Amino acid sequence: MDLGIRGKRALVCAASKGLGRGCAEALAAAGVDLVINARGAEVLTETARAIKEAHGVDVTTVAADITTEAGRAEVLAAAGNVDILVTNAGGPPPGMWTDWSRDDFLRAFDANMLTPIALMQACVPGMIERGWGRVVNITSQSVKAPIPALGLSNTARTGLTGFVAGMSRQVAGKGVIVNNMLPGIHDTDRANALDTKAAEAAGIDLAEARKRREASVPVGRYGTAAEFGATCAFLCSTHAGFIVGQNILLDGGATNATI
Ligand code: NAP
């Protein structure tokens, strides 16, 4: 399917690895020029090289922490006018509800709620002026079904979801379509880190921890960054103009809910 976005320009945050990279690759495959970001310059540069080589699009890199004001300013200055925005950042650490301090909550709010909001506030007005835009926020399955150990994530991402629910309807009539993608377990470094912690806590090895988590997913495996990216590219396409303010769950059926 031609996604109808060849020649558009996208900012994909936190995209040197994992789900962000999956989104960047799928957009590049559809002919979209990219600005990609991550903190570590080395992996980011290598990712940009691989994407350019595979798809022949322009890829600009900005090594910066997207959750800081200075980092965002640097990324936004390099990005200029973008037609597509994919927001993403690392997730908060797991823990116990009794241990989280005000500062822990503020860090999670900054990274997973206020950063995507600030990026939308910076990019969407230009999209409105030009009459076309797409935004995808990478959130989490934990918005739909809480993961108790990830309470910082549950809290911050639900706040973002509430913001998008209202804002997406305010901009839809101006040609800008905003949606959220909710990953369940995907095969990335983040999933590996969570499995390592779970293995330590249960006194089992990493392979056994992964096997147990895979068994909790109806499809019997983790999702891939490529599958995730393909859905992102579709939501950024010309075909997705009637999908507004939705929370698209990609979890292999793990969330046991009728709707
Ligand atoms: P990942 O494989 O660890 O990749 C994270 C990417 O984000 C890397 O490129 C990393 O590069 C970059 N990054 C992290 N913090 C950043 C920051 N402050 N500023 C700029 N770039 C940053 O993680 P992932 O699995 O793709 O997860 C992406 C998001 O989805 C996370 O918020 C995660 O919590 C959420 N999620 C993931 C899963 C899953 O199963 N994978 C499930 C639910 C939710 P640098 O380290 O070099 O900055």
3-16 as b/e: b if 16+ CB within 10 A: bebeebbbbbbbbb
Q: What separation in Å is there between the alpha carbon of 128 and the centre of ligand 1?
A: 28
- Span 133-155, average pLDDT: 96
CB of 119 closer than 6 angstroms to any ligand 1 atom: no
pLDDT for residue 250 is more than 90: yes
- Span 114-132, average pLDDT: 98
Handedness of CA 152, 40, 250, 192 (dihedral sign): negative
pLDDT digits (tens, 9 = 90+) for 177-230: 999 999 999 999 988 998 998 899 999 999 999 999 999 999 999 999 999 999
Distance CA 93, CA 102 (A): 15
Give me the pLDDT at residue 190, please.
86
Q: What separation in Å is there between the alpha carbon of 235 and the centre of ligand 1?
A: 20
> Among 200, 202, 199, 201, which residue's Cα sits nearest to residue 210?
199
pTM, full prediction = 0.97
Where in 160-221 does DSSP place strands (E)?
176-183
pLDDT digits (tens, 9 = 90+) for 163-191: 999 999 999 999 999 999 999 999 999 88
Q: What separation in Å is there between the alpha carbon of 206 and the centre of ligand 1?
A: 20
Q: What separation in Å is there between the alpha carbon of 23 and the centre of ligand 1?
A: 12
pLDDT for residue 153 is more than 90: yes
Distance CA 135, CA 11 (A): 10
> Among 213, 172, 248, which residue's Cα sits nearest to residue 19?
248
Q: What is the mean pLDDT of the chain?
A: 97
> Among 23, 16, 25, which residue's Cα sits nearest to residue 62?
16
Q: What separation in Å is there between the alpha carbon of 211 and the centre of ligand 1?
A: 22
The label of the residue with tokens 């989104």 reads 23
pLDDT digits (tens, 9 = 90+) for 42-83: 999 999 999 999 999 999 999 999 999 999 999 999 999 999
Distance CA 8, CA 6 (A): 6
Give me the pLDDT at residue 194, please.
86
CB of 154 closer than 6 angstroms to any ligand 1 atom: no
Helix (H) or strand (E) holding 87: strand 84-87
Q: What separation in Å is there between the alpha carbon of 106 and the centre of ligand 1?
A: 18
Q: Which residues contact 208 (CB under 8 A, 6 or more apart)?
A: 199
For a ligand 1 pocket test, name from 19, 160, 251 the mutation site with the most ligand atoms within 8 angstroms of its C-beta: 19
- Span 97-102, average pLDDT: 97
CB of 141 closer than 6 angstroms to any ligand 1 atom: yes
pLDDT for residue 156 is more than 90: yes
CB of 37 closer than 6 angstroms to any ligand 1 atom: yes
pLDDT class of 8 with cuts at 50, 70, 90: very high
For a ligand 1 pocket test, name from 17, 35, 150 the mutation site with the most ligand atoms within 8 angstroms of its C-beta: 17
Tokens of 218: 């109806």
